[in-house]
A and B are shown apart, each in its own frame.
Chain A
């Protein structure tokens, strides 16, 4: 029993009978896609602005961001705020309120400071290029490394998280994959070990196969993304994370 024996696809066949898994899968893909797009847009823009030494009030604005890393209202006040804004149990709550990642902003800011030469902005300014055009047409195309790394971080975060869904969602049709997985892998685990006889044995075997199958189908996609981004995980990007 320590070594595997035989080969079967029964677990995957069993998957097809569980509609909620596929609803969860679809939801997670949507949350990840939209959430990553929003997260990238919000955090990269803020990071670039903060990387500019000529930004008036830079220190105060940086403090405004950093402070939230160490102090926050906590679970209940945040929950009440979200509910008061009418975001409870909506698609939006999964992608918008927690889009700001201060750590991501710091890493990206350091990247911009170190790899976009300041002369470039001066040259562009002389040519009559404004801040926004410069950011979109010059800075971003030069920043593929940091964009890839942040995209990976944010996407993995969305794909794997269940906390926000647990707190802010009630409607089962909005459940992301991880919450469905929680029911299959954890909540039902306790109950499935009961019963005896052949029928119970078969049911248990099938339940276990189902567990292995959902683990595979939920984990493979996010692992497949990593090799494409790996080449960017070199010193340049990571060292900025803790230095300053």
Chain B
């Protein structure tokens, strides 16, 4: 009886799939690519618990338990990379309100041509590649013949070596990001602001509200859902300082301030071929991020009725 029932269910499912077979065909390329290049590597992550040898392959290599994790926790790079990664993340996290403030300001601009000009100018840095950005910073921030060096010399002072000191690394990293992404990141908030019902402003005008009151009572609440969603995503990436820029900015002089988890994973993994150890470090990072994301999402759902899923 029961098996007959499920047989009918399966038949019905097949009929529903068959009716829209074209849609599944459209999905196929993306699904196959994800299976091959994202889900298979997810299985491959088991080498973090093995002693990987290229000859034996992923499945054939002997198990090693938590050996590589323990090795990482006991190494001096553990404290260093975690500290740097967290510090840079939190620093960058603190700049989160800047695009929101930026969007609120742009939204106040009344001259249309000026507004468009201003937006285009502030979006442009987003299109500069990381390589070019870091190259520019090396040129401009050089204490010898860069802009900074010359400016300091103009006042008869010694310029700090911004690109070559561990202490300055996080500031240079975060503020160059702010310079490059503020305009771009504000787009999404501007979009949310453009959805404000104009009658709200009219009602506020009737009540004699000032500009600041408008921003505080109408604009800001309008941005909250978008801001919270982005905030949750940001927290989920708290232990993930991107590889691309950190690696390019890294040199022997600033290494104690610039070694983050992602650059460390690359170095021990690909440059010195400790595949299993590197995977373990990477997995540790991913798991922490995943837990953070789920926790923050849960807290947010409880207190603001906003969540990712």
Contacts and interface: CB of A to CB of B under 8 A. Distances in A.
Interface of A: 1-2, 41-43, 45-46, 48-50, 52, 54-57, 61, 64-66, 68, 70-82, 85, 96-100, 105, 130-132, 135, 156, 159-163, 167, 178, 181-182, 184-186, 189-190, 193, 208, 211-212, 215, 218-219, 222-223, 226-227, 230, 233-235, 238-239, 241-243
A105 B188 contact: no
Contact of B22 (A82, A130, A226): A130
B30 A65 contact: yes
9 contacts: A46-B26, A49-B24, A72-B286, A77-B43, A77-B58, A135-B22, A184-B135, A185-B131, A185-B132
B151 A2 contact: yes
Nearest to A77: B44
Given A46-B26, A219-B127, A75 B33 contact: no
A186 B248 contact: yes
B16 A56 contact: yes
B131 A182 contact: yes
Chain A interface main SS type: helix
B274 to A, nearest CB: 9
Contacts of A226: 120, 123-124, 127
A74 B265 contact: yes
Contacts of A208: 139, 145
B229 interface: yes
Given A73-B41, A167-B270, 19 more contacts: A46-B29, A49-B23, A55-B20, A56-B17, A57-B17, A75-B278, A76-B269, A77-B42, A80-B44, A81-B41, A96-B33, A97-B37, A98-B37, A131-B21, A185-B138, A215-B136, A223-B127, A226-B120, A230-B120
B279 to A, nearest CB: 5
B198 to A, nearest CB: 14
Pairs A-B, 8 closest by C-beta atoms: A131-B22, A185-B135, A73-B41, A77-B44, A160-B129, A74-B282, A46-B30, A45-B26
Interface stretch (B77-85, B94-102, B189-197, B200-208): B189-197
Given A2-B147, A85-B36, A241-B188, A45 B131 contact: no
A227 B121 CA distance: 11
A230 B285 CA distance: 37
B37 A81 contact: yes
Interface residues of B, number: 80
B34 to A, nearest CB: 5
B290 interface: yes
A227 B117 CA distance: 11
B309 to A, nearest CB: 8
B1 interface: no
Nearest to B149: A1
B176 to A, nearest CB: 14
Contacts of B309: 66
B188 A74 contact: no
Interface of B: 13, 16-17, 20-27, 29-31, 33-34, 36-45, 47, 58, 120, 123-124, 127-132, 134-136, 138-139, 142, 144-145, 147, 150-151, 153-154, 187-188, 191-192, 194-195, 225-226, 229-230, 236, 243-244, 248, 251, 265-266, 269-270, 275, 278-279, 282-283, 285-286, 289-290, 293, 309
A124 to B, nearest CB: 12
Given A72-B41, A226-B123, A100 B34 contact: yes
Given A2-B150, A55-B23, A156-B127, A242 B188 contact: yes
A206 B196 CA distance: 54
A230 B236 CA distance: 30
Contacts of B188: 238-239, 241-242
A97 B36 contact: yes
Given A74-B41, A77-B42, A181-B135, A49 B27 contact: yes
Contacts of B124: 223, 226
A179 B235 CA distance: 31
A100 B135 contact: no
Given A98-B37, A218-B132, A56 B47 contact: no
A76 B275 contact: yes
A162 B283 contact: no
